[in-house]
Homo-oligomer: A and B are copies of this chain.
Amino acid sequence: MALYVQKFGGTSVGSVERIQAVAERVAGFRAAGHQVVVVVSAMSGETNRLVDLANAVQAEPDERELDVLLASGEQVSVALTSMALLERGVAARSYLADQVSIHTNGHHTRSRIEKIDTERLREDLEAGRVPVVAGFQGVDAQGNITTLGRGGSDTTAVALAAALRADECQIYTDVDGVYTTDPRVVPSARRLDRITFEEMLEMASLGAKVLHPRSVEFAGKYGIPLRVLSSFEETGSGTLITTEESDAMEQPVVSGIAFARDEAKITIQGAPDVPGVASKMLGPVSAEGIEVDMIVQNVGAAGQTDFTFTVKRSDYADAMRLVRKVAAEMGAGEVTGDNRIVKVSAVGVGMRSHAGVAMRMFDALAAENINIQIISTSEIKISVVIDEKYLELAVRAIHQAFELSGSAEEEID
């Protein structure tokens, strides 16, 4: 008998039929003798509908009221999901954030969970009931409704699993696990049976949008085994995200290939090579709230340096304007940019102990005549920036170079 926290996202509860399927699945776990806590998101489409209403009423919707508005979406889901369970004879009870209680700090629209009172949930579990908890929402010290921002329901599920010391936190979604890369780009991409939190974080933040990075970080911090599963398939064990690296004899050096579209780069040439130049360049950009991703600095001509960073494509024009201004003030050289670039990364804890991983990646790109514009590495990741027209070709080439395809590789477990 295990205790599972099971989270079902918007598409998984997107219709009466889908809610019935969720209840059917939870009923199966109860019948098998397990304890289950369910976390649900708003029905798909509902959040957008509510945001549209808010924008129609107020030019810049008040954040406190936006949280009240959006939280109603999960309220509908918990009630309907509880009803569906009760209809199957499974004892269930819905909980909103203030009833559980999920205490957050008070930043509206992007709160963080600080504490969860598990007393009522424990009572329910011991009485054989399934608590159905509203994801995405919390309550601050003054009793105001707060929301957790993007991916918030995943975070609710992981936080509940941590607070209840659950055996596993299962995230049901519209894909059946984490893949070696996007199957739409590489059809032979293989589902990973397991992946470490660190790898998952790199994969997620690089654009493999299965789980929100915050929930992965949270799970890693508290050592909660996290499993990504399909809510649309009856069977399948999904992908387990865990602290333990695979103990297979032949650990793969690279677990997956992630990529991010819609990037842009800005280069300042001939900046004075003195301390503080990087912070001077990036200061105005970050003050404007623009997120900077890669930062690369190269030695240039004597006493000068070339400095490049990347931003989201939508921030390119603003960033360019700010940098041109500061470059002129500093007497730096030309500022150039390119908003038609992408980032491709190889991720794997295995590469820590394997030399030559980078070379294998660069060779694969060279063989396809793909020019590498920027290189950046971390302990478990190598990222390159290339022209966006090569994205698919590059991902396929690297995926093949590391023999990640399902057909060419044995399953790990």
Contacts and interface: CB of A to CB of B under 8 A. Distances in A.
12 contacts: A20-B57, A50-B76, A53-B80, A57-B87, A58-B86, A61-B83, A62-B82, A65-B80, A66-B79, A66-B83, A69-B76, A72-B73
Contacts of A62: 82-83, 86
A71 interface: yes
Copies of this chain, whole number: 2
Contacts of A393: none
Interface in A143-177: 143-145
A123 B99 CA distance: 25
Interface stretch (A90-98, A192-200, A347-355): A90-98
A79 B82 CA distance: 25
Contact count band on A: 35 or more
B75 A69 contact: yes
Q: What's the dominant secondary structure at chain A's contact region?
A: helix
A20 B98 CA distance: 30
A297 B50 CA distance: 57
Chain B CB within 10 A, most for which of A57, A59, A61, A87: A57
A75 B76 CA distance: 11
A59 B87 CA distance: 7
Interface in A46-77: 50, 53-54, 56-59, 61-62, 64-66, 68-69, 71-73, 75-76
A40 interface: no
Contact of A69 (B56, B64, B71, B79): B79
A94 B79 contact: no
B57 A19 contact: yes
A58 B84 contact: yes
Contacts of A80: 53-54, 57, 65, 69
A78 interface: yes
A100 B84 CA distance: 31
A144 B82 CA distance: 14
A16 interface: yes
A406 to B, nearest CB: 38
Chain B CB within 10 A, most for which of A16, A54, A65, A80: A65
Nearest to A101: B143
A141 to B, nearest CB: 13
A64 B76 contact: no
Contact of A68 (B58, B66, B94): B94
Nearest to A52: B16
B56 A79 contact: no
Contacts of A58: 83-84, 86-87
Nearest to A53: B80
Nearest to A59: B87
A65 B40 CA distance: 15
Given A75-B75, A94-B65, A99-B143, A16 B53 contact: yes
A336 B153 CA distance: 62
B93 A79 contact: no
Contacts of A145: 96
